[in-house]
Structure 1
């Protein structure tokens, strides 16, 4: 097995002596690359953003990630570019130049992170010359409230020149995952090796995008006895929307990032297409995986309510083979699941055909990049004016994500009218066991539940 290393700004950097607990941000700053900063240590501010080469259908693409969350060892064999590698004071990159000329640098603390997120959008393969998706920088926080000049700088960017070295890099494939074995850390080469490692280390922490575990490590000082990274396992990265062997389901590999699922599915599953823009930020979705999001069993995760409404199942894999579990039966308590020792989520399956009418409603203090107080996902089939089938998933109102079974029963077999909606809304307001916490009161959560169907009806 070759010596572990990361290529940083074109230069190989050894990893052999890096502790498993070290995140990529601390590693990079230890190299003297101090442009990336720690602002929040939980992936909400983007001050730590760096670029990583990731696979793309046409070759590869520069993808921004939060360096404060990713273990440095998880980037073994990968190529990373920091703000220092994008341009220099003597040779500014167009992104840096526009930020400087338009007053977008402010105090400068957040600027390198903005540079990396903006550069990723600048080099996006399918970007129009006069288009810049401002959601690309939604995960970057400016504490000086100087968003207008930052926006102006972003919208002033033209096309990336074809001869640009960073643009040329995207024409070649991204490096493959490097199998890694170091003290307290392993990146297995395949699923069989991963399962063997989990059997050998029953207390191991399984990490993919590390958007949840990274927060635990940074803010709570949690340490893993052994880390097994599964984000690049080929057996966990399939996406089948028209597979002959799976004609009645859409199957999504558990190690696909949410950005990859979003791009791969497009509008195939409309309810999920409603979720993606409201799920954290692009920086988080570039790292977070669908399996990791469900495996953490958070009661306030946005994805579980939608998948509950879609009646999704999970394919769990161990040395004994696969077993399929309904998502509604997967959660057993607060942050607890039916996963057995040495077992992984291999895939998520969404049964077909899909419901004809769907909605996802997220109630939070901010429109984007925030944690839900309440999340409601609804999937309905209405035949000849009557609700033939209703499935409703809820988040933020119980110790686990739940199905609103009583409300489903109050809808099915009844005419899809305002009268039915009002009656069902009264039932929905009583679902779950909401609590008072820093995000919302129990009374507010119940009120938002009661309003969800009614608001959808009037829309």
Structure 2
């Protein structure tokens, strides 16, 4: 097994002796690459953003990630590019040049993070040529503390296409590095699922990480430490995606990968992705990790509950399939047994034709929800024959709105039925008062979500 190392800006950097809880940001700054900064230490601001070479079929996709969250050890064998590797004072990259001439750098503290996110979008494989082809949501995880968004926007929209000879553009045509099988003191990345399960059996108290977007916050802000870390982000068996008899999504696929691969195949999930944190977070966060943390305010669980999803759980004893509605047992608690991990998520087909996802938060994007409501209905000849409604933020776990489902099924899909069901929905769960919202507000928003869905539906009489 080769010595652990990361290729940073084209140069190999050894990982030997680096403590397992050192994040990539601290590792890079320890090398003197101080462009990336720690702003929030929880993935909210993007000041720490760097680019990583990630697989895109048999090619490479430059992907921006929050360096403050990912353990340095998890980048073993990978290629990382920081703002210093994108350009230099004597040879500015087009992104850096546009930010400079348009006044987009402001104080400069957050500029390197913006540069990395913008450069990754600059090199996006399917980006159209020419100005105005830049997707501004590519930088929705980057915070400018000087409120210089207008010149940053202007710089982004002025970007053209990579010039011939651009080294980072040419790098895209060859495969990204394969994930290294890693062994460090207190850290392991297994080659395959069998090895992962063997490690978990050997270390039953191990912490399983993939994107580390949740555990990274715990380590940074609360000083949490794991006795042993098993990284499953590149385990092949956890990275499947199929849409044949069922929609099956591997637990270690990032949200961005699932979003690209699924497209509009599952319309309800297509509504969730843009509202789930930021692009930087979605580039690392995984579906299995999001469900495994059992957060009552996670955005994915309500949608997957509405889709009647099941989880495939794997251990050395074999696989078992558990309905998502039975997976959560209490606040941050699940049915996962020691040595067991989430292998994949299965969504049955055919999908309900009428779906919605409503997220109530203080900001439209990149915020934690106060209440989340997802619904999927089958309507036949004007009557609701099947209803599934998932809720987040109103109980210790994500829950199904069983009483509301019963109130809808067998009833005509009309405004009168919706009004009655909305009254029932307002009483679901056990909402509490906290810093995000009061219990009364949460209850009110439940009913309002159903009414708003009806009011905004272009064709309320959906018949299959």
TM-score, structure 2 as length reference: 0.97
Q: Deviations over 1:262-317 (max 9, x none)?
A: 00100000000000000000000000000000000000000000000000000000
Which structure 1 residue ranges, 4+ long, deviate > 6 Å from structure 2? none
CA distance in 2 between counterparts of 1:97 and 1:342 reads 51
In the alignment, structure 1 residue 140 sits paired with structure 2 residue 142: yes
2:243 maps to which residue?
241
1:303 maps to which residue?
300
2:63 maps to which residue?
63
CA distance in 2 between counterparts of 1:304 and 1:365 reads 20
CA distance in 2 between counterparts of 1:41 and 1:333 reads 28
The equivalent position to 2:224 in structure 1, one of 208, 222, 225, is 222
Secondary structure, aligned partner of 1:451? helix
Could you tell me how far 1:161 is from its partner in structure 2? 1.7
CA distance in 2 between counterparts of 1:255 and 1:233 reads 7
The equivalent position to 1:175 in structure 2, one of 174, 177, 180, is 177
2:214 maps to which residue?
212
In the alignment, structure 1 residue 430 sits paired with structure 2 residue 427: yes
Secondary structure, aligned partner of 2:2? coil
CA distance in 2 between counterparts of 1:316 and 1:202 reads 16
Could you tell me how far 1:162 is from its partner in structure 2? 3.5
Structure 1 runs not aligned, ≥5 long: none
CA distance in 2 between counterparts of 1:383 and 1:284 reads 39
Could you tell me how far 1:160 is from its partner in structure 2? 1.2
CA distance in 2 between counterparts of 1:203 and 1:109 reads 39
The equivalent position to 2:333 in structure 1, one of 316, 320, 336, is 336
In the alignment, structure 1 residue 348 sits paired with structure 2 residue 345: yes
Q: Deviations over 1:201-247 (max 9, x none)?
A: 111100000000000000000001110000000010000112xxxx2
Secondary structure, aligned partner of 2:127? coil
In the alignment, structure 1 residue 448 sits paired with structure 2 residue 450: no
In the alignment, structure 1 residue 382 sits paired with structure 2 residue 384: no
CA distance in 1 between counterparts of 2:287 and 2:272 reads 12
CA distance in 2 between counterparts of 1:162 and 1:273 reads 35
In the alignment, structure 1 residue 47 sits paired with structure 2 residue 47: yes
Secondary structure, aligned partner of 1:136? helix
Secondary structure, aligned partner of 2:226? coil
2:80 maps to which residue?
80
The equivalent position to 2:158 in structure 1, one of 142, 146, 156, is 156
The equivalent position to 1:267 in structure 2, one of 264, 267, 272, is 264
TM-score, structure 1 as length reference: 0.98
Could you tell me how far 1:138 is from its partner in structure 2? 0.2
Q: Deviations over 1:135-194 (max 9, x none)?
A: 000000001111000000000000112420000000000000101111111011111111
Secondary structure, aligned partner of 1:232? coil
Secondary structure, aligned partner of 1:381? strand
In the alignment, structure 1 residue 198 sits paired with structure 2 residue 200: yes
Structure 2 runs not aligned, ≥5 long: 457-464
The equivalent position to 1:361 in structure 2, one of 355, 358, 362, is 358
Q: Deviations over 1:32-89 (max 9, x none)?
A: 0000000000000000000000001350110000000000000000000000000000
In the alignment, structure 1 residue 35 sits paired with structure 2 residue 32: no
